[in-house]
Amino acid sequence: MHQLDDCIFCQIVKGNAPAYKIHEDTLTYTFLDIFPATAGHLLIITKEHFSDIFEASPEALAQVASNSVRISKALEQVIKPDGLGVYQFNKACAGQTVFHYHMHLIPQFEGKDIGIHSKQAGDPDELASLAKTLTAALQ
């Protein structure tokens, strides 16, 4: 599996960087965003390093899509949002900031205007607790 030493997402997959893991399978890894736009903001990434959708394998993309449905249902059950934003950016001019293929799932709430990336880190205890609850909801 191709991974880069200087990629934070590759480091998370290898276990060399911390993450609030929600789910892992052979092709993908899902974890809470540490700069959450809202509670439950998470990322589904490919385990193999692909810079963007243009490089990613169809198999890995299919697994990300499949997991997004299952994980969205867990978010709906646990977070109870009014809606869900699904975002995926490719290349800097489109808003991509980490150059490893990933999809954002961001719970949305009526009357709350949010951005995609928060400037404030999430509370570690809240993130850890939410990660456990969402992981349990996937069982």
**pLDDT tens sequence for the chain (139 residues):** 677 789 999 999 999 999 999 999 999 999 999 999 999 999 999 999 999 999 999 999 999 999 999 999 999 999 999 999 999 999 999 999 999 999 999 999 998 877 666 667 888 888 888 888 888 888 7
Q: What's the confidence (pLDDT) of residue 115?
A: 66
Q: What's the confidence (pLDDT) of residue 136?
A: 87
Note the pTM of the prediction, 2 decimals: 0.87
Select which of 41, 100, 102, 104 is catalytic: 102
Task: Count up the domains in the chain and report the number.
Answer: 1
If we measure between CA atoms, which residue out of 77, 69, 67 comes closest to residue 21?
Answer: 67
2 assigned to some structural domain: no
3 assigned to some structural domain: no
Domain that holds residue 87: 8-137
Identify the bridge partners of residue 131 per DSSP, sorted by sequence position: none
75 assigned to some structural domain: yes
Q: What's the confidence (pLDDT) of residue 116?
A: 65
* 102 catalytic per annotation: yes
Q: What's the confidence (pLDDT) of residue 120?
A: 73
Q: Are 84 and 107 in contact (CB under 8 A)?
A: yes
Question: What is the C-alpha to C-alpha distance for residues 94 and 74, in angstroms, rounded to an integer?
Answer: 28
CATH number of residue 89's parent domain: 3.30.428.10
Cα-based distances in Å from 3 to 51, 60, 139: 10, 14, 29
